[in-house]
Amino acid sequence: MLSINDISVRIAGRLLIDDSSVQIVPGARVGFVGRNGVGKSTLFHAIRGDLPTESGTIAIPPRWQIGSLAQEAPNGPEKLIEVVLKADRERETLIREAEVASDPTRIAEIQTRRWLMLRCWLVRTPLRCLWRISGRKVCSAMGGSCFP
């Protein structure tokens, strides 16, 4: 679990994050939402270790990976959606395996899993989606919502 405990972060003398805490469970997909200048990028930089906190602690499990994109869309031949989807390691692994798989049962398993992942993100809330895909209890980092 990603644990953020009582952190405060100040930029150029302005307190953007004040004594804040949150726990993010394994498998959660989390987004920071808010007006410009409220500290979304600051929090993310602190989690990544790119920015020191004034107080508190941030603990990231050693096997966790935090993906990020620059605020500006990357230039290049790839579409932004392709760049974002590449961050999903399971999806990328399934695509590579599908290209070389020869066992009909395994091909069916791969395609079923890919379909479940896509369908889930298109028609369900992210928490319900994570629960359906993982089979584990999943709770919101903001509290209040859990599935199943």
Is 51 in the same domain as 10? Answer: yes
Question: What span, in angstroms and rounded, lies between the C-alpha atoms of 93 and 47?
Answer: 26
Is 70 inside a domain boundary? no
Is 34 inside a domain boundary? yes
pLDDT in tens, 15-73: 889 999 999 888 777 777 778 888 888 888 898 888 999 999 999 888 777 766 666 65
Is 7 in the same domain as 54? Answer: yes
Number of domains in the chain: 2
Is 110 inside a domain boundary? yes
pLDDT of 137 higher than 90: no
Domain that holds residue 41: 2-59
pLDDT of 138 higher than 60: no
Q: Which of 59, 67, 70, 76 is nearest to 28 (CA)?
A: 67
Report whether 26 contacts 33 (CB < 8 A). no
Report whether 16 contacts 10 (CB < 8 A). yes
Which of the pair, 36 or 79, is modelled with greater confidence? 36
Is 41 inside a domain boundary? yes
Identity of the amino acid at 30: V
Is 143 inside a domain boundary? no
The vertex-17 CA angle with 10 and 68, nearest 5°, equals 95
The structure tokens listed for 70 are 């620059």
Q: What's the rounded mean pLDDT across residues 92-107? A: 91
Q: Which of 77, 11, 72 is nearest to 39 (CA)?
A: 11
Is 43 in the same domain as 10? Answer: yes
Is 68 inside a domain boundary? no
Is 37 inside a domain boundary? yes
Q: Which of 73, 20, 72, 14 is nearest to 47 (CA)?
A: 20
Is 120 in the same domain as 90? Answer: yes
Is 49 in the same domain as 95? Answer: no
Is 147 inside a domain boundary? no
pLDDT band, very low/low/confident/very high, at 105 (cuts 50, 70, 90): very high
